[in-house]
Structure 1
Amino acid sequence: MPYPTNNPGPTSTRAPNTTSSLGDVSADITLSSPPEDSISDLEFSMKSDLLAVASWDKRVRIYDVSQTGANSGRAIYAHGGPVLSVAWSNDGGKLVSGGADNAARLWDAATGQSAQVAAHDDPIRSVRWFTLPGANAQMVITGSWDKTIKYWDLRQQRPAGSVELLERVYTMDVSRDLLAVGTAERHIQVINLKNPGTVFQSRISPLKWQTRVVTCFPDASGVAIGGIEGKCGFVYLDAKNSSSEFSFRCHRRARTGGTDTDVYGVNAISFHPVHGTFSTAGADGTFHYWDKDSRTRIKGFPHVGGIISATSFNRNGTIFAYAVSYDWSKGHQYNTPTYPNKIMLHKVSDEEAKRRVTSKY
């Protein structure tokens, strides 16, 4: 994928259309046997009905989730510390996880066994997969608070390569040949995986405060960014699309009886695998479905009873999983025993997630 270099200017901030009615979560299904501590990440396999869940209880859990929402536990394995990220291989046969024990582990769906496959000097905040051009097997990418990403050929014990970054890795995503990394100090660093040893582009996030999540566009043309100030930003890699870049306010709530607004972090951005629309979810305990091209909110949903820490669509976009769990944004003292800790399954209709033909403003 030929990424032209560019030095993009500032993005515009616009309020998206929000004409949608409020969605219904009353029929959402609770996943059985949830983790025993905060849920940091979850991801559906794109080849099966398996859902992987990472937790601060030092465990990774894998669940079978049918198209109807029926669910049961499939497997569980342990890390030496809180687990912060999970990712499925393209073929759905393997799961990689990374955590605060500075290690990444691989779970094999065929054998049901797990083993350590990677290590860093500090916690591994994010894990992903990619295929090097000309290679016949996928490799694992690990991003760490030690300010590096490393590439791992699972047939070898040592990393196949590494890249020094400007700051600690907070979030990371891959789409096709695009690797996008969000770090401390608001850096967004982009790597073309056809040349994985070199940072292709570095820029400062269009959002003014700390980055919480980056998610690559499905076509790998750009990156969606969520921050702690209740805003999302969209950046494109090609300079000719820079005029289309914008940011918008989403997870904010006006205070009753006053003019002040409470601001909540955007914890998760997930793209629908069929329609190309996307969801945002945040510390305000709500999630929403959006169309970035028409800059429209398709559907908003009410408060679900707690912070939403992670989200994922299943392989055909009919089920949306969201974790209602503490996100540690206010420190350990707010993680009380009574705080909800559960995973909900929302059945997604086309009316909720399909693009709509509408004007931008």
Structure 2
Amino acid sequence: MATFGTTSATANPNPNRSTEVSQPPSDSVSSLCFSPKANVLVATSWDNQVRCWEIIKTGTSVSTVPKASISHEQPVLCSTWKDDGTTVFSGGCDKQVKMWPLLSGGQPVTVAMHDAPIKEIAWVPEMSLLVTGSWDKTLRYWDLRQPNPAHVQQLPERCYALTVRHPLMVVGTADRNLIVFNLQNPQTEFKRVISPLKYQTRCLAAFPDQQGFLVGSIEGRVGVHHIDDSQQSKNFTFKCHREGNDIYSVNSLDFHPVRYFILNYVNGA
């Protein structure tokens, strides 16, 4: 029993010596995205907020400076940057996407709508289009110069995950569906497969060479899947984020932009 006023010995809660941002969200974080042009981080959360920090490195130390924030009417589930690093898009349970001209200090405006919460969002610079995936079982493509979607793609179920490496796009839905699109012909499904994982899909990450993708699920497992049928012998799954009898959901996957190894994120909540 620890004595009042003293600290009991515990395992190091921060073995990587990571830096916690100042003034963090007051509720669960739903997405993170770094600016493609600057050391600026944006996070969305279940407290209806989109927050921005500048990351400053001085010698070996790193600090964070809160810069700005905007609000949605309900929890925010997803975010992405425009490729020029000037603008942030965010979507969530209020069924709308807000475009925030962060660099210029402008006010956010609504640029897309769905009939149910928006779970995933991606900016595709090669097409100058915004892609949104929703629990209304649709994928919508938006030309920001027009108020209506350029195309509405019906999905077999609610959108849970999305990844884009042009021309490859993969959408994960309920019932373990994985739908592959070739964005050179975005109005037609290229291929549909059932996830190699037995439980609900939580996240996806396309290979940097566009030849396949990773899929993560709530069961603490990741699947590696190649698109070409002749490469199916290279597919496999592996367990991760397990401690004894505890199994944690894999909530995010990504590839290091230079070395191409897998980064994944787990949240026990």
Q: Deviations over 1:156-205 (max 9, x none)?
A: 11111110011000111111211111110000011111111111111100
Query: Corresponding residue for 1:310?
Result: none
TM-superposed deviation, 1:76? 0.6
Query: Counterparts of 2:229 and 2:36 in 1: how far apart (Å)?
Result: 32
What letter is aligned with 2:255? Answer: F
Q: Given the alignment, which residue of 11, 20, 27 partners 2:17?
A: 27
Query: Corresponding residue for 1:293?
Result: none
Query: Counterparts of 2:202 and 2:191 in 1: how far apart (Å)?
Result: 19
Q: Given the alignment, which residue of 99, 120, 126 partners 1:126?
A: 120
Query: Corresponding residue for 1:117?
Result: 111
Which residues in structure 2 correspond to 1:120-269 (within 5 Å)?
Answer: 120-132=114-126, 138-254=128-244, 261-269=245-253
Contact 2:224 2:236 in 1 (8 A): yes
Query: Counterparts of 1:122 and 1:155 in 2: how far apart (Å)?
Result: 23
Q: Deviations over 1:302-324 (max 9, x none)?
A: xxxxx3xxxxxxxxxxxxxxxxx
| 4+ long deviations beyond 3 Å | none
- RMSD across aligned positions (CA): 1.7
TM-superposed deviation, 1:58? 0.7
Contact 2:142 2:148 in 1 (8 A): yes
| Distance of aligned partners of 1:253 and 1:110 in 2 relative to their CA distance in 1, 3 Å threshold | closer
Contact 1:232 1:250 in 2 (8 A): yes
Query: Counterparts of 2:237 and 2:115 in 1: how far apart (Å)?
Result: 35
Query: Counterparts of 1:119 and 1:89 in 2: how far apart (Å)?
Result: 18
Query: Corresponding residue for 1:106?
Result: 99
| Distance of aligned partners of 1:131 and 1:194 in 2 relative to their CA distance in 1, 3 Å threshold | farther
Q: Given the alignment, which residue of 71, 81, 88 partners 1:78?
A: 71
Contact 1:132 1:193 in 2 (8 A): no
Q: Deviations over 1:287-309 (max 9, x none)?
A: xxxxxxxxxxxxxxxxxxxx3xx
Query: Counterparts of 1:172 and 1:81 in 2: how far apart (Å)?
Result: 21
Matched, 1:60 2:38: no
Contact 2:86 2:104 in 1 (8 A): no
Query: Counterparts of 2:13 and 2:243 in 1: how far apart (Å)?
Result: 17
Secondary structure of 1:154's partner?
Answer: coil
Secondary structure of 1:241's partner?
Answer: helix
Secondary structure of 2:189's partner?
Answer: coil
In the superposition, the TM-score normalised over structure 1's length comes to: 0.68
Secondary structure of 1:157's partner?
Answer: coil
Q: Deviations over 1:237-274 (max 9, x none)?
A: 112221111000111122xxxxxx32221111121111
| Distance of aligned partners of 1:24 and 1:72 in 2 relative to their CA distance in 1, 3 Å threshold | closer
TM-superposed deviation, 1:24? 6.6
Query: Counterparts of 2:103 and 2:240 in 1: how far apart (Å)?
Result: 41
Query: Counterparts of 1:24 and 1:102 in 2: how far apart (Å)?
Result: 36
Contact 1:151 1:161 in 2 (8 A): yes
Query: Counterparts of 1:271 and 1:179 in 2: how far apart (Å)?
Result: 15
Query: Corresponding residue for 2:86?
Result: 93
Secondary structure of 1:276's partner?
Answer: coil
Query: Counterparts of 2:13 and 2:235 in 1: how far apart (Å)?
Result: 28
TM-superposed deviation, 1:29? 1.1
What letter is aligned with 1:231? Answer: R
Which residues in structure 2 correspond to 1:346-361 (within 5 Å)?
Answer: none
Query: Corresponding residue for 2:8?
Result: none
What letter is aligned with 1:115? Answer: V
What letter is aligned with 1:263? Answer: I
Contact 2:131 2:142 in 1 (8 A): yes
Secondary structure of 1:243's partner?
Answer: helix
In the superposition, the TM-score normalised over structure 2's length comes to: 0.90
Name whichever structure is richer in strand by fraction: 2
Matched, 1:69 2:66: no
Gaps of 5+ in 1: 1-21, 255-260, 284-306, 308-325, 327-361
Contact 1:207 1:227 in 2 (8 A): yes
Q: In the comparison of the two structures, how many residue pairs are matched?
A: 254
